[in-house]
């Protein structure tokens, strides 16, 4: 089921840039491709910091 969804959502970034209306579209595609990764890093850091502070308070 998930493989079918991933095939339907597959995005070709190079094709999007070629069909872009102007050059600022490239910046949006770049930011959009990095945004999920940055969000996951921030969530992971928040969980790490929460657990670290909780461990220090337990001692």
Residue 30 near residue 13 (C-beta atoms within 8 A): no
When pLDDT is cut at 50, 70 and 90, the band that residue 43 belongs to is very high
Distance in angstroms (rounded) separating the CA atoms of residues 59 and 45: 22
CB within 8 A of 53, min separation 6: which ones?
none
Residues 19, 17: Cα–Cα separation, whole Å: 5
Over residues 22-34, the pLDDT tens digits come to 777 788 878 888 8
| Cα–Cα distance for residue pair 48/46, rounded to 1 Å | 5
């Amino acid at each position: 089921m998930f493989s079918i969804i991933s095939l339907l959502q597959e995005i070709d970034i190079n094709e999007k840039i070629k069909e872009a209306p102007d050059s600022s579209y490239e910046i949006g595609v770049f930011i959009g491709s990095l945004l999920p990764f940055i969000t996951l890093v921030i969530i992971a850091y928040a969980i790490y910091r929460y657990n670290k502070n909780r461990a220090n308070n337990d001692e």
